[in-house]
Chain A
Amino acid sequence: MLGNNKIRIIGATEKNVFFARSRDLSSGGGPGSAELPLAEFLSGKFDSRLISGFQDKRSRILLVVPDHWIKHDFFLFRSQKEGLIRPFIERKLKAAYPNLTSAQHFFNYSCRQKNIEGPGVRVFHLSEPRAFDLYAALSRSNLTPRWIATPALLWEERLNRQFPDFAGQAALVIHLQRHESFLYFYHNGDFLFSREVALPESSERWDALLFEINQSIYLFSQKAKSDLQSVYLIGDEAGFQERLTDLLGRPVHAVSTAGADPVLPKELAALDGLLEPDGTPAPADAHCITHTRIQQQVKWRPVQWAAMLIAAILLAFFGAEHQWLEERLSVEIAARSRMRQQQPMSLADYDAAVVELTDDLSRLSPPHTIFTIVSSLPEGVLINELRMDADTLRVDLAATVHAESIDRFRQLLKNLVENFNRRLNLTPPITMEDVVFTMEEAKHQAVRTDYKIACKIQLP
């Protein structure tokens, strides 16, 4: 049982639906409480503002329905595995109540070992068609109940907690009120049936109650095939406990209830004593019905929480790590910026500069080349034209050779070629064949002949 004052209670009776937070209910209504006719609520023809204050999304809802809206069955079944029991119960409910197609979604069970029948499951499920309609209407109004219970189931839970041997007894629980009394019969902890007895305001009220108790005990004996073992009284009044003890001939145990003196609507008098002054605690799942879909969702809740927690921790860790990394990043960027300022030229720039300088130095120097070519000319050879390309390292030369004879011309040409090869370091060297000359010599004098020569030199 969890103490949780966030729980809201929706109490359904044959005619009305009551909406209240448990605090409001126990204090006789409050600003969040509302009462609507059941038929109007089911048809949707009501003023939604009446329950708007009740639609607190953070709270969970307990729907309390009359005892007879929930039916209790026992099915023989040997296995105690949930994976086998649930489909078995669904099949059983489908077969037993073909008109209640939704019943298979609204049931709860507990395993039982009975002396005569043997092992089986005790099943309680919604059996009233209006209950399904009410659930659907509540879901439409965003008031889907987390739990569905009856007063008998809630009292069963209370007595199980208060009296450890209650679950093994054939017991009668008398819930005494000013104008009425509720009788709940349990066998081995399982609810059998209940009675509501109207009590007149006279001295005969005890006689009427005792008569009804006796009748019900007789019915109980027939149903349970067992004698009543214990009687529990809720809400003692003017020594009624002693009188009852004398009349029944067995001890009557007083059930302690909440300390508050709640003022409940008459229709919800069965809940009197269940409400705590600080709010109704959440009921145990074993004594309530929860829609199968909600059960699945509730089952996954711890996984969701764990996943959320782990993710949140990871997120926080990564966030802190990111903060630290950002600081490291800014430190590295600042260091790089500082070093870049200290370094006007990178080594790569120096390397490129050296390459450029080397290229420049290895370039052809026209004055030096002209000087070398001119100094290579033997006496009697005069340059006419010189063309030089520094990029292709090519020199085109045209000159005039003055020679007295062909032998002298040959000798001059030979000297010229040798000088070029030696001084210009030509590789491959030029040969005499590379030097062309014209045979149409211009004769100036009878003893000397001018030869026009030309050659192309590829410098290394």
Chain B
Amino acid sequence: MTARLKNWWLWVGTVWAGALLMFLWNHATIETILALQAQNHDLRSELTFQQQNAPKLERIQNEHAKLFLAAESLQLGVLSAQALLGELASRSELNVGQLTSTPLQKGVEAAALNLTFSGPPERVLQFMAALNTHRYLQQKQLAVKFDPKSGEATCELSMQLRCRIQAPALNEPNPNAPNARAAL
């Protein structure tokens, strides 16, 4: 009988502990729900704002997409950029000397490109202006030497290629965003 009564206290304690734990659990759940409700409220406001300003936001999205070259991999992106540079240079009738590329860091979707080319100054400017429209190729450093005898300019251009790696099967490509296939 003694043991049984002692167990009674144990049971009482257990049930009270259970009730207390349940209370604390509920309290934590309530906190979570309140936080979620606040998040959802903000999200709803954002959605309303986005619906009201959809054209502007779409323009921002499109412009922003132009800052990156959509490619399946960084190597493919570099390959596309090299092809583009070659095409632009040949279109401007420039002599392309050397084109090298270096990945910046592991995990960073960018690569450094160095291009050496030469030609008449006006064509160099034409090439640079054409290159400037491809904003995913960010021009970093430029060194130009003018030869007064030949009248030609020799340039060394350092650029940074910014890529956005996209799995083609998972995401629909943004029609406004530059992509590796289009660049090629």
Interface residues of chain A, those whose CB is within 8 Å of chain B, are 57, 60-61, 139, 144, 146, 293-294, 297, 300-301, 304, 307-308, 311-312, 314-315, 318-319, 321-322, 325-326, 328-329, 332-333, 335-336, 339-340, 342-343, 345-347, 350, 353-354, 356-357, 360, 363, 365-368, 370-371, 374, 382-391, 400
Contact = CB atoms under 8 A, between A and B. Distances in A.
A314 B19 contact: yes
Interface stretch (B35-43, B71-79, B110-118): B35-43
Contact of A311 (B16, B44, B67, B131): B16
Given A308-B15, A390-B139, A390-B140, A382 B4 contact: no
A357 B64 CA distance: 6
Contacts of A388: 141-144
Contacts of A336: 36, 39-40, 43
A343 B46 contact: yes
Contact of B125 (A60, A297, A367): A367
A308 B11 contact: yes
B100 interface: no
B95 interface: no
B64 A353 contact: yes
B165 to A, nearest CB: 17
Contacts of B139: 365-366, 390
Contact of B18 (A311, A321, A354, A382): A311
User: Which of A139, A322, A340, A366: most chain B Cβ within 10 A?
Assistant: A366
A61 B2 CA distance: 13
Interface size class of B (residues with CB under 8 A): 35 or more
Contacts of B33: 325, 328-329, 332
Interface string B134-171: 01001111111110100000000100000000000000
The DSSP consensus for interface residues of chain B is helix
Contact of B40 (A319, A332, A367): A332
A347 B46 contact: yes
Contacts of B9: 304
Given A308-B11, A360-B135, A339 B22 contact: no
Interface in B4-27: 4-5, 8-9, 11-12, 15-16, 18-19, 22-23, 25-26
The DSSP consensus for interface residues of chain A is helix
B47 interface: yes
A322 B37 contact: no
B47 A384 contact: no
B49 A347 contact: yes
A400 B149 CA distance: 13
Give the 7 A-B CB pairs with smallest separation, nearest first.
A367-B128, A318-B22, A353-B64, A311-B15, A332-B36, A314-B19, A297-B5
A382 B146 contact: yes
Given A386-B144, A388-B142, A390-B139, A311 B19 contact: yes
Contacts of A144: 1-2
Contact of B132 (A335, A342, A365): A365
B182 interface: no
Interface stretch (B55-63, B81-89, B101-109): B55-63
B22 A319 contact: yes
Contacts of B29: 322, 325-326, 329
Contacts of B40: 332, 335-336, 339
Nearest to A400: B148
B184 interface: no
B46 A315 contact: no
A304 B61 contact: no
Given A353-B64, A382-B146, A384-B145, 7 more contacts: A301-B5, A318-B19, A318-B25, A322-B26, A360-B138, A371-B125, A387-B143
Contacts of A391: 140-141
Nearest to A339: B43
A288 B102 CA distance: 99
13 contacts: A297-B1, A326-B29, A332-B40, A336-B36, A336-B43, A339-B40, A353-B63, A354-B64, A367-B128, A383-B146, A386-B146, A387-B142, A387-B143
Contacts of B63: 353, 357
B88 to A, nearest CB: 12
Contacts of A311: 12, 15-16, 18-19
